[in-house]
């Protein structure tokens, strides 16, 4: 763990928290306690970011010819994925489900309007206006996420250390 931070990834943004101040305490603990503390800390930060993204989600994605997503679909499909034990670096990823991920990206960045079907697609020359709701959410809660990660990690490591010393 020495020299590594904890990563919370959302969209193309990262929060990195340096936890070197607790390295000595970590050395006395087993890997299981450290892994649990890291996962809890990452999840605490991810939950804050998830809520902020949900609060910023457009209720209805309006496109030039309507949309296939029901009202509130983006908001209800903001999910948290966490690393498995096989991951080299622990992470928590705030993302969208497989049916709305591409729509969230299109809303965030804007996109070209294409008409037609698979065999006959035509660029209309129009583009949608970007609505950077994900990046705005990230910027709004970045400090709160960082604080939650640090506090949750230190709290859990302290509890594990106290338990181990008894």
Give pLDDT, residue 23.
61
| Residue range 118-125: mean pLDDT, rounded | 78
Give pLDDT, residue 8.
41
Domain range enclosing 59: 5-165
What's the whole-model pTM score? 0.75
Residue 9, classed as helix, strand or coil, is strand
Across-strand partners of 94? 10, 80
CA 14, 161, 29: angle at the middle one, nearest 5? 70
103 exposure class (CB count in 10 Å sphere: 0-12, 13-18, 19+)? buried
Instruction: List the end-to-end C-alpha distance of the chain, in Å, as a whole number.
Output: 25
| Residue range 12-22: mean pLDDT, rounded | 63
Task: Quote the number of domains for the chain.
Answer: 1
Assign 2 a pLDDT band (cuts: 50, 70, 90).
very low
């Amino acid at each position: 763990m020495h020299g590594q931070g904890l990563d919370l990834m959302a969209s193309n943004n990262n929060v990195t928290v340096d936890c070197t101040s607790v390295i000595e305490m970590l050395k006395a603990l087993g890997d299981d306690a450290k892994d649990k503390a890291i996962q809890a800390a990452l999840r605490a930060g991810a939950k804050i970011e998830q809520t902020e993204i949900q609060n910023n989600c457009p209720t209805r994605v309006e496109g030039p010819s309507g949309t296939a997503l029901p009202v509130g679909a983006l908001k209800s499909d903001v999910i948290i994925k966490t690393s498995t034990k096989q991951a080299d670096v622990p992470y928590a990823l705030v993302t969208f489900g497989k049916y709305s991920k591409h729509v969230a990206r299109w809303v965030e960045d804007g996109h070209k309007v294409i008409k037609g079907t698979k065999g006959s697609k035509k660029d209309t020359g129009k583009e949608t206006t970007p609505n950077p709701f994900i990046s705005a959410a990230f910027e709004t809660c970045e400090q709160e996420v960082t604080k939650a990660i640090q506090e949750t990690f230190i709290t859990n490591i302290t509890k594990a250390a106290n338990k181990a010393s008894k």
